[in-house]
């Protein structure tokens, strides 16, 4: 299963893909063709932030809206980190690991004491969508509060429901227009989303049969 995907700094078509205790760097072409660039490698051997946190994997890795940093979630904890675009070294921000409840209490108050996945709204850099189990919600980054939800994922994301997913492991924006890939277990689907209603572009398929770069998953 794919647990998280984030863009590689300075490379519009390259991404870090996490699966359990390993990750790899892949590249996506204009026709959604993929290839393996590096890895797979053990996360803790390459990411100093994971080693510092004493974590070997992540439940979710979520881009911070409009910033060159990201959140890593494991169980009821998280940390914020950044990647230096020159040397590609990662480093902790804001005093390392914290509990979700200490900094994201509005999430915990509505039952999101853990996070499965998250994605910034492309039409509003104040909004993050979070996923947990079969629910999704909208969170205002600047106001620090839940502004809508939680609701069943298919309520906000009908195309994800159309693909047959009632929960997800990861979601990321591709470099091709408004297309996003969504992962669940050993399957994936592709949707189109610009901040409004999503539409299904590619129905669910088996990851290993369609992603040469992810044959190791």
Q: Which residues contact 64 (CB under 8 A, 6 or more apart)?
A: 70, 71, 80, 120, 141
Q: What is the mean pLDDT of residues 141-160?
A: 93
- Residue 36's domain spans which residues? 4-214
Q: What is the mean pLDDT of residues 27-41?
A: 97
How would you classify residue 94: left for phi > 0, otherwise alpha for psi between -120 and 50, otherwise beta?
Answer: left
Q: Residue 66 has what pLDDT?
A: 73
8-state DSSP, 45: H
Helix, strand, coil proportions of the chain in percent (round to 5)? 15, 45, 35
The Cα–Cα gap between 124 and 4 comes to 22
Q: What is the mean pLDDT of residues 80-85?
A: 94
The Cα–Cα gap between 199 and 187 comes to 18
Total structural domains within the chain: 1
For the cut 90, the answer to whether the pLDDT of residue 166 exceeds it is yes
For the cut 80, the answer to whether the pLDDT of residue 67 exceeds it is no
Helices H / strands E in the chain, number of each: 7, 16
How many other C-beta atoms lie within 10 A of the C-beta of residue 66?
A: 10
CATH number of the domain to which 181 belongs: 2.110.10.10
8-state DSSP, 167: S
How many other C-beta atoms lie within 10 A of the C-beta of residue 68?
A: 12
Q: Residue 32 has what pLDDT?
A: 96
When pLDDT is cut at 50, 70 and 90, the band that residue 196 belongs to is confident
- Determine the 3-state secondary structure of 198 from DSSP: coil
For the cut 90, the answer to whether the pLDDT of residue 141 exceeds it is no
For the cut 90, the answer to whether the pLDDT of residue 65 exceeds it is no
90-99 and 77-83 strand pairing: antiparallel
């Amino acid at each position: 299963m794919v647990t998280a995907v984030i863009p590689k700094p300075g490379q519009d078509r390259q991404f870090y893909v996490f699966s359990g205790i390993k990750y790899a760097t892949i590249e996506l072409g204009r026709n959604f063709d993929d290839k393996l660039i590096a890895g797979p490698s053990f996360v803790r051997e390459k990411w100093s932030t994971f080693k510092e946190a004493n974590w070997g994997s992540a439940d979710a890795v979520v881009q911070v809206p409009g910033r060159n940093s990201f959140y890593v979630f494991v169980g009821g904890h998280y940390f914020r980190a950044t990647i230096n675009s020159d040397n590609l070294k990662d480093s902790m921000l804001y005093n390392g690991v914290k509990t979700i409840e200490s900094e994201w209490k509005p999430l915990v108050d509505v039952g999101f004491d853990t996070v499965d996945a998250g994605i910034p709204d492309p039409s509003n850099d104040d909004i993050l969508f979070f996923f947990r189990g079969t629910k999704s919600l909208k969170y205002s980054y600047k106001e620090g509060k839940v502004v809508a939800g939680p609701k069943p994922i298919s309520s906000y994301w009908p195309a994800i429901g159309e693909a047959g997913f009632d929960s997800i492991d990861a979601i990321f924006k591709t470099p091709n227009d408004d297309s996003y890939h969504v992962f669940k277990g050993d399957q994936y689907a592709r949707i189109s989303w610009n901040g409004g209603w999503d539409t299904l572009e590619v129905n669910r398929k088996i990851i290993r049969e369609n992603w040469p770069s992810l044959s190791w998953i």
